[in-house]
Chain A
Amino acid sequence: MRYVLIVVLFCVCVFVGYYYFSKFDKRKKFFSAIIMLAEKLSVEINFSRERLKVLIENFDPVTKKNLLGIDEGFISYLDKKTELNEKEIFKKATCLKQDEKDFVLLFLKTLGRSDVENQTKEIQNFVKRFTDIKGTCDVEHKKYGTLSLKLSIIAGLFFAILLI
């Protein structure tokens, strides 16, 4: 019975650590994906001038998974099914900070509102800012994400030793 308790306690500790680790990991991947999306939009708007909906739908499906559902929310807005607000867009993106959500929302609100030249400039400005945020996310991921995973394993081992 004691060994079962040790295993369960160890798993709980590791799970908590992994939860925080994946939170930082998701944020990092999210900003990598949104930078890729923005760059694709910038290129395609210049080249093919295709509609936003088509461009987002045709975006790489693997990278799209890291967008935490904001692409679906945005397409739903383009189809006039939902509003473009925080509640609708960030349903699945709970790992983002408030100021990051505000910034992503601002990015989505500027899409499709101007001519090619201005739209491209705007997107490039957002890409720069997203790159800065991604840099911060990388640092936080290394600093806190990996740390929380390590700490959780140590805590798990500590409780195991304590119980033995």
Chain B
Amino acid sequence: MLSKILPEKIFNIIDKKVNLKAVNEIRFRADKPIVICVSGKNYFLNENGITSSGASCLYASKIAIEDIIFRASECSIYSVNEQIKKGYIVTENGIRIGIGGNVVEENGQVKTMTNFSSCNIRLPHNVRNCSLCAFPFIVNENVIENTLIISPPGCGKTTFLRDFVAQLSERKLSFNVLILDERGELDCKLDSNFYDKIAFSSKKMGFENGIRALSPDLIVTDEVGQEEDIDAILYASTCGVKVLASTHADSMETFCKKPLFQKLIKEKVFKRYVLLSKRNGPGTFEGVYNENFARMSSKY
């Protein structure tokens, strides 16, 4: 899929001279050097692969950025306009392309984005067993605890969620899992036999419809960040459905200060918190905490 999105020259360099499995992100900014994030570290891209110095690096043009976005939409921008309004496109293979440009508003509503000036291609990875450090604390004697994965962006929250669902299936723990995938990237390459999926729906709608129609044991969802997401989680917890979700914060202290989560913290809805970071590369496991924020596991 990446070969269809990227300009041929750039793809050939990345394909032949960079370890594609270790690439996390590729950033294109108009008239600026192309930045490639490999194993959590940023490099510039040049004809010979990656370099730390800016000399002889390759630059991204505005036309190239527009072409990447055009190709990512399968040459049909109109078909992904709802995603573009939110600032990204997700391809069939779960590659998420964040878009920078001008937002066109009409009557207070975002109509579309134009004049694309940057894009960030995030490549999904399946890191087998990456959730195992936290797994015994979340699943105990066939009971799953409500769990929130906390980390800054790009630290492997989605990869963790994906692996966790795969682990449930691998251990023949046949929980009915509902993947609520607002952005269409969660179930990419997901190896599990026990999951249903509701994609491109808001959390509120997805939780309500999913619980009614699919009667899940566990709802897995990414990036909780709005008031209505909190209400949806509270609704699920009152229905006896477990939730595995993720959110952005760089530490437990920062998370505890977030006004949005105060209700959930007070009511102790989440029984486990898993903290991830980039300290030793994306997905570094920092620890598991209980509902009282007491550490349950040590750092790796």
Minimum Cβ distance to chain B for residue A30 (Å):
23
**A80-B4, A80-B71 are contacts. A112–B76 as well, Cβ < 8 Å?**
yes
Contacts of A53 in B (CB 8 A): 74-76
**CB 8 Å contact bits of A95-137 with B (1 = contact, 0 = none):** 0000000000000000111111101000000000000000000
Tell which of A78, A80, A115 touches B78, judged by Cβ atoms closer than 8 Å: A115
CB-based contact B78/A112 at 8 Å = yes
Indicate the member of B73, B78, B81 with the most A CB atoms within 10 Å: B78
CB-based contact B74/A51 at 8 Å = yes
CB-based contact A50/B79 at 8 Å = yes
**CB 8 Å contact bits of A1-30 with B (1 = contact, 0 = none):** 000000000000000000000000000000
CB-based contact A115/B112 at 8 Å = yes
CB-based contact A52/B76 at 8 Å = yes
CB-based contact B71/A116 at 8 Å = no
CB-based contact A78/B79 at 8 Å = no
Minimum Cβ distance to chain A for residue B65 (Å):
14
A45 within 8 A of B: yes
A49 within 8 A of B: yes
Query: In the assembly, what is the distance between CA of A114 and CA of B75, in Å?
Result: 10
Contacts of A113 in B (CB 8 A): 70, 77
CB-based contact B78/A116 at 8 Å = yes
Tell which of B4, B75, B111 touches A112, judged by Cβ atoms closer than 8 Å: B75
User: What is the size category of the interface that chain B forms with chain A?
Assistant: 10 to 19
Contacts of B74 in A (CB 8 A): 51-53, 78
CB-based contact B112/A112 at 8 Å = no
Q: For the complex, would chain A's binding face be called helix, strand, loop or mixed by DSSP majority?
A: loop
CB-based contact B73/A112 at 8 Å = yes
CB-based contact B75/A51 at 8 Å = yes
| CB contacts between A and B, total, < 8 Å | 44
Minimum Cβ distance to chain A for residue B15 (Å):
15
Query: In the assembly, what is the distance between CA of A89 and CA of B112, in Å?
Result: 30
CB-based contact B70/A112 at 8 Å = yes
User: What is the size category of the interface that chain A forms with chain B?
Assistant: 10 to 19
Query: In the assembly, what is the distance between CA of A153 and CA of B76, in Å?
Result: 50
**CB 8 Å contact bits of B47-77 with A (1 = contact, 0 = none):** 0000000000000000000000011011111
Contacts of A114 in B (CB 8 A): 77-78, 112
Tell which of A49, A80, A117 touches B79, judged by Cβ atoms closer than 8 Å: A49
Query: In the assembly, what is the distance between CA of A50 and CA of B80, in Å?
Result: 10
Contacts of B3 in A (CB 8 A): 80
Contacts of A111 in B (CB 8 A): 75
Indicate the member of B71, B81, B111 with the most A CB atoms within 10 Å: B81
Complex: chain A residue closest to B74, CB-CB: A51
Complex: chain A residue closest to B69, CB-CB: A113
Contacts of A50 in B (CB 8 A): 76, 79
Minimum Cβ distance to chain A for residue B27 (Å):
22
Query: In the assembly, what is the distance between CA of A50 and CA of B76, in Å?
Result: 8
Complex: chain B residue closest to A77, CB-CB: B75
CB-based contact A116/B76 at 8 Å = no
Contacts of B70 in A (CB 8 A): 112-113
CB-based contact A51/B76 at 8 Å = yes
Instruction: Name A23-64 residues within 8 Å CB distance of B.
Output: 45, 49-53
Query: In the assembly, what is the distance between CA of A116 and CA of B81, in Å?
Result: 8
Contacts of A49 in B (CB 8 A): 76, 78-79
CB<8 Å pairs between A and B, sample of 11: A51-B76, A53-B74, A78-B74, A80-B3, A80-B71, A111-B75, A112-B70, A112-B75, A112-B77, A115-B77, A119-B77
User: Which of A's residues lie within 8 Å of B, judged by CB?
Assistant: 45, 49-53, 78, 80, 111-117, 119
User: Which of B's residues lie within 8 Å of A, judged by CB?
Assistant: 3-4, 70-71, 73-79, 81, 84, 111-112
The 3 A-B pairs at the shortest CB distance, nearest first, are namely A115-B112, A112-B75, A115-B81
A-B contact sample (18 more), CB < 8 A, given A51-B79, A112-B76, A115-B78: A49-B76, A50-B76, A50-B79, A51-B75, A53-B74, A78-B74, A80-B4, A80-B71, A111-B75, A112-B70, A112-B75, A112-B78, A113-B77, A114-B77, A114-B78, A115-B77, A116-B81, A119-B78
